[in-house]
Structures are given as structure tokens and as C-alpha cells.
């Protein structure tokens, strides 16, 4: 089954403790992206990747890092999480004609 | 730069009434346009998409949208609302092809359906 898999689904962490949210797709898509969703703000793009070793900032990249060492994986790294990064995060991959989204990761930073 | 504007953060209709959710886009090249639905505590589900074929696009659950280039609009409609349609709806635009594959979302419209 074609899918984008994010882990974990839920995460509560403390301020400053580094964390990684994993994202993997099995569709051989070149394009992958991370979004965060906040009430009243819709989904805003954090980072995207056009291909292996090619990443670029989206609209809200501050406080996040990404890497794309393999085509299928696109992890989101929060090196020093802060409470304003509490949000719902979605990973997505695209063939250029449409997107497939993961199920989301609800992150709470206390 | 691309952008999407959804008019009305909240829309309330009665069961059986027409649903109309408005979306206007800005794009420098012919776009792909999408509507997604998000039910409470769930992920994003694709309702329908416009990819430069027919301007009237039919989606799932009885929804449809019409691409109007002259008005730069892609409004979502459903003739008769059902209680199960209560959800948040997102319009999104993407420039197809080349390196312009970013999907840009509107801020969403929350639909309430009254009995």
C-alpha cells in the first residue's frame, strides 16, 4: 500500500530535549515536505526537499532541521524544542501531481 | 508567489442546505488546486483536485468545485449538507511541473452543520 509513515503519533517532551520525528514513504517520490498545523493558521510549510541531499526552507523553518540522506526518509529534527513548537505536524511526499500525507504527529513541549 | 485565501474561518449551515466554501488563489502559472477535509482528531483527506482538465471537478461525499480562471476562484460546493460534513476544509494550490511543487494551504474553514 502506498503510504507516508510518521512516527511517533503522539509525543510529549520537555523544553530543550532534542527530538526527531521520522517520516518514510514507499512511493519513490522525489519531493517531500514537512508542515505544521496550528488553529486559525492552517498548514504552514517548515522545510521541503526536492531530492536526496537537496533541502530548502519553507515559511516557518526557525527551530527545525531536516536531512535527506535517502529518497524514502525525511526526518524532522528539533534540536532544542520550545513550547511554541507545540503543534500538529504532517509529513508529505509528492509525485508532482498530488500529495500523500502522513497521519500526523501531535507534539507537546512543556 | 503563490497564495490561497479562504473567505470565512467559520461557516454554519443547516442540514439539507447548500454548502459553499470560498477559495481564491494567486499563482503566476496555471495551478493545480486541491480541497482537503480534516475531521476532528484526524489527518488530511483529499476531497478533490483540479489538474487543468475539466473545470468542474467532482469529488468524494457529493462535493464538487469549479475552477474559474477569470475570478481566480475554486469554490467548494455541496447541494445538501449532512451532519457528517462537519469538519475543517482546506484549499491548497500547487504549481505543477519543474521545481515548483510546493503545496500552499489556505487557513481553513470550519464547517458546522445544524440539525
Residue-wise pLDDT for B24-49, tens only, equals 998 777 788 999 999 988 889 999 99
pLDDT digits (tens, 9 = 90+) for A6-41: 999 999 999 999 999 999 999 999 999 999 999 989
Residue of B nearest to A33 (CA): B102
Test B105 with A42 for CB contact under 8 angstroms. Answer: yes
User: How far away is chain B from the Cα of A63, in angstroms, using its nearest Cα?
Assistant: 21
Sorting pLDDT into bands at 50, 70 and 90, what band is A53? Answer: very high
Separation CA A59–CA A82 (nearest Å): 18
The answer to whether the Cβ–Cβ distance between B105 and A44 falls below 8 Å is yes
Q: How far is CA A85 from CA A40, A61, A72, B45, B46, in A?
A: 15, 11, 25, 24, 26
- The values of phi and psi at residue B99, to 5°, are -100, 5
Best to test chain A binding among B96, B102, B106, B108 (most A CBs inside 10 Å): B102
B49 phi/psi in degrees, rounded to 5: -145, 150
Residue A42 has which C-alpha cell?
492552517
Chain A hits for B32, CB-CB cut-off 8 Å, are 97-98
Amino acid at each position: 500500500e502506498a503510504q507516508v509513515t510518521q512516527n511517533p503519533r503522539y509525543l510529549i517532551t520537555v523544553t530543550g530535549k532534542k527530538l526527531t520525528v521520522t517520516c518514510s514513504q514507499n512511493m519513490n517520490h522525489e519531493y517531500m515536505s514537512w508542515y505544521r498545523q496550528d488553529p486559525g493558521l492552517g498548514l504552514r510549510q517548515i522545510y521541503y526537499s526536492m531530492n536526496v541531499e537537496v533541502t530548502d526552507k519553507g515559511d516557518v523553518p526557525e527551530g527545525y532541521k531536516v536531512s535527506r540522506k535517502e529518497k524514502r526518509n525525511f526526518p524532522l529534527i528539533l534540536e532544542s524544542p520550545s513550547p511554541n513548537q507545540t503543534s500538529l505536524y504532517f509529513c508529505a511526499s509528492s509525485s508532482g501531481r498530488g500529495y500523500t500525507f502522513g497521519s500526523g504527529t501531535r507534539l507537546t513541549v512543556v | 508567489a503563490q497564495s490561497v485565501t479562504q473567505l470565512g474561518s467559520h461557516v454554519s449551515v443547516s442540514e439539507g442546505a447548500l454548502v459553499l466554501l470560498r477559495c481564491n488563489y494567486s499563482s503566476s502559472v496555471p495551478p493545480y488546486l486541491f480541497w482537503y477535509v480534516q475531521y476532528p482528531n484526524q489527518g488530511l483527506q483529499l476531497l478533490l483536485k483540479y489538474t487543468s482538465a475539466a473545470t468542474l471537478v467532482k469529488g468524494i461525499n457529493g462535493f464538487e468545485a469549479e475552477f474559474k480562471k477569470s475570478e481566480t476562484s475554486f469554490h467548494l460546493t455541496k447541494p445538501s449538507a449532512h451532519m457528517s460534513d462537519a469538519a475543517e476544509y482546506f484549499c491548497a494550490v500547487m504549481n505543477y511541473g519543474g521545481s515548483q511543487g510546493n503545496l500552499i494551504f489556505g487557513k481553513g474553514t470550519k464547517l458546522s452543520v445544524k440539525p
